[in-house]
Amino acid sequence: MITGNSAFFRLSPRVQQGIAHTLGWSTLRPVQEQTIHAVLDGCNCVVLAPTAGGKTEAAFFPILDLVYRERLSPVSVLYVSPIRALLNNQEPRLAQLTAMVGATAFKWHGDVGPAARRRFLADPSQVLMTTPESLEVMLISPKVNKAALFAGLRFVVIDEIHAFAAGDRGAHLLAVLERLARYTSFDVQRVGLSATVGDPEVIAEWMQGSSQRRALVIDPPRSPAARLLRVDVYEDENQLAQRVAPAARGRKTLFFVEGRRLAEGVKQALGGVTALSYVHHSSVGRELREEAEAAFSYSDESQCIVCTSTLELGIDVGDLDAILQLDAPATVSSFMQRLGRTGRRPGTQAEMNFYCGDERALLQAIALINLARRGWIESVSPSRRVVHVLAHQVLAQALQFYGVQREQVWALAQCTQAFAQISRTEFEQLLDHLIATDVVQPTEGVLVLGPTGEKQYGRKNFLALYSVFETPEEITVTTTDQRVVGTLQTWFVQQVGEQPGFVFVLAGRAWQVQMLDLDEGVMVVAPAPQGAIPQWGGGGPLLSREIAREIRAILQADTVYPFLTGRAQEWLHRIRAQWAGIVTAGALPVVHEGDTWKLYTFAGDRINLLLARALALVLGCEISGDSFTLKVKSPPQVPIQESDLWRALSTIRDPDFFSVERLAALVRALPRGRLSKFQPLLPPELEARFLAERLFDVPGLQEWLGEVGGRNTVCVK
């Protein structure tokens, strides 16, 4: 029951009545109690709670209370989501909440027709639900009177803020919010909503921008939740279906897989397991995805949605009985986000069942569970020098204002955390390059689109400026007869190369690159010739150093994990026996086999990829590897000795090794392609630094080298 010292009594009677009678609530959750106090006290805040933990209500109860009490004019509240599907999903909830105080909410994104938008502009709602891209549309469009529409803006609620902070769209959002803030006389109050993250204070600081309000993190203690975790193994599709059947039959489940092709395959494999099943991923049309969500939400029948990360964010598909997981996600954050979708009904517990098809997946699943049980989760580290998005903002403002002053752009850069580490010298270097390439040109003291900029972004092509994305985040891998093998992440392809004959592993087979088009996101491959040695395996989501290190600890231990089935425990016992001589051989075990040296680093993808390139540069030889090992192949004319390896590692350990010039050289040796839509706007020096920061983890490698230290046990075979 609500007690006398509850934040409930700080709310107006109108909102109290809505909570008690419209929603039928008799109590507030701790996250709502604390957030109501923080918002009414005028603080910016990052609000943490699991999926369906009441974050949305926590933010909107006090905000709508102020809208009602102070009779705030529209638009007074922005609700920003990273995906349209989440806006669609939240629309009924926000309609109910706003109606409690006689207000309305309007959803604006690319699927909303022009007639509805015109009605909104003529009669705005108090709450505008949208995406960063749609806000850019409003700012650039001459049909939107920004000064009138946003004069009363008081609050912005950013849902799934951790998803924004981790990438370019977060930088774009912060810049757009600063541009909007210029139309209002208020210090816009910012509320970020998120599942658990490793370092929420960093996100709170990143979100601040020009706001002078105090920033708080709302993260109330939670009672230990009952969880049922089970890790099983399978060897083929028939076994997978048999293993899944007990968990899926007669229940409502989400089955997460790590790729679209796998999703389709699992859907077929589950044909006889559950009567109703759907596929939900980014290549499925919007109407079919929404049909699956609606059918799942409003039916009590046994159903299963086979999905990728498209259902990992806070889209509400109703009460779930269990989460199923093929193999393992790449991060503890994803694991926790998915697990948190279950156990929401009173008297139920969160349940997640892993089905691992190979040794690495089994070890990764165990590592994720171990780290989560110890309370570890990845930190989000937003970049403070997103220079390519600043280039985008130069063009966007030039269009918005029909010409923009240098100082106006620099003022935006100074108050946006995503640009905070860009120096004035680098800023001038960027503008000078844009002028030299005719993207913009100075005219009467302002910068306007130049001939090149006009051709690419003016007139009908100005739609290209609405989004900071274009280059696919994944590369589709097809055979020469157009059969889809799977996908690789763009970062992986950038790292490992596009040279003809390059061999890598995907879908359990070795493939040789025939053709690569990074801009179109397509790679054509052929089966690798018999006997070819794969140069890299994987290409899926990044495996972190922490997870790789935990996998090594699992191999070293003799722990019997209670969440493993008997079959999975037998697999683990066999795997440990295979690795026993390696993982006990010092901090950096090295094995010499013929003309190849194997370094067992257990350092994760980003460190191993950079270490491979640095060693190749120092030793002048071919390096291959994966998340755990590097293979150094000796040139036949000058065989590499053990002492050569340690000297090379010592050279790389030198703090001055990764100079700006050397990093630029390593970057320029990469296959040319784009990680960002606006990367081509950057001068060569800034582009090289941008790519180095995206692709290389220099601090991580140097820290790992410091831990490894000097010589280690060498096992010679």
3 state DSSP class of 594: coil
Element housing 255 (H / E)? strand 252-256
pLDDT at 614: 92
Q: Read off the pLDDT of residues 25-41 as tens digits, 9 standing for 90 and up.
A: 999 999 999 999 999 99
Instruction: Please name the residue that has the structure tokens 């709450």.
Output: 127
Q: Please state, rounded to an integer, the average pLDDT across all residues of the chain.
A: 85
pLDDT at 89: 80
Q: With helix as H, strand as E and coil as C, how does 123-153 read?
A: CCCCEEEECHHHHHHHHHCCCCCHHHHCCCC
Residues near 102 by Cβ (< 8 Å), separated by ≥ 6?
68
pLDDT at 627: 87
Element housing 610 (H / E)? helix 605-619
Q: Read off the pLDDT of residues 76-108 as tens digits, 9 standing for 90 and up.
A: 999 999 887 788 888 999 999 999 999 999 999
Give the pLDDT band (50/70/90) at residue 281: very low
**CA separation for the pair 245, 249 (Å, rounded):** 6
Closest CA to 321 of 279, 294, 297, 352: 352
Q: Is the pLDDT of residue 539 over 70?
A: no
Burial (CB count <10 Å: 0-12, 13-18, 19+), residue 165 = buried
554 to each of 148, 334, 366, 577, 607, how far by Cα in Å? 60, 21, 8, 12, 20
Give the pLDDT band (50/70/90) at residue 283: very low
What are the structure tokens assigned to 612, written together? 């491979």
What percent of the chain is predicted at pLDDT more than 90?
A: 51
The answer to whether the CB of 173 falls within 8 A of the CB of 132 is: yes
Q: Is the pLDDT of residue 650 over 70?
A: yes
3 state DSSP class of 666: helix
pLDDT at 585: 80
Q: Read off the pLDDT of residues 246-275 as tens digits, 9 standing for 90 and up.
A: 888 888 888 888 655 555 556 555 665 555
Q: Read off the pLDDT of residues 354-376 as tens digits, 9 standing for 90 and up.
A: 999 999 999 999 999 999 999 89
Amino acid identity, residue 230? Answer: R
pLDDT at 517: 78
pLDDT at 14: 96
Which has the higher per-residue pLDDT, 237 or 282? 237
Question: In whole angstroms, what separates CA 132 from the centre of its chain?
Answer: 16
**CA separation for the pair 431, 448 (Å, rounded):** 12
**Predicted model pTM:** 0.84
- For residues 689-717, give the mean pLDDT: 78
3 state DSSP class of 673: coil
pLDDT at 313: 59
Q: Read off the pLDDT of residues 133-190 as tens digits, 9 standing for 90 and up.
A: 999 989 998 899 999 999 999 999 999 998 899 889 999 999 999 999 999 999 999 9
Give the pLDDT band (50/70/90) at residue 683: very high
- For residues 439-444, give the mean pLDDT: 93
**CA separation for the pair 513, 520 (Å, rounded):** 16
Class of domain 7-218: alpha beta
3 state DSSP class of 115: helix
What are the structure tokens assigned to 276, written together? 């109703």
Q: Read off the pLDDT of residues 294-342 as tens digits, 9 standing for 90 and up.
A: 666 656 666 777 776 655 555 555 667 899 998 998 899 889 888 887 8
pLDDT at 317: 57
* DSSP string of 157-177, one letter each residue: EETTHHHHHTSHHHHHHHHHH
**CA separation for the pair 640, 623 (Å, rounded):** 12
Closest CA to 74 of 8, 25, 122, 26: 122
CATH for 391-465 (1.10.3470, 1.10.10, 2.60.40, 2.40.160) = 1.10.10
Q: Read off the pLDDT of residues 574-594 as tens digits, 9 standing for 90 and up.
A: 999 999 989 988 889 999 988
The answer to whether the CB of 105 falls within 8 A of the CB of 125 is: yes
Residues near 548 by Cβ (< 8 Å), separated by ≥ 6?
602, 603, 604, 627, 628
The answer to whether the CB of 389 falls within 8 A of the CB of 678 is: yes
Architecture of domain 227-373: 3-Layer(aba) Sandwich (3.40)
**CA separation for the pair 414, 418 (Å, rounded):** 9
Q: Is the pLDDT of residue 713 over 80?
A: no
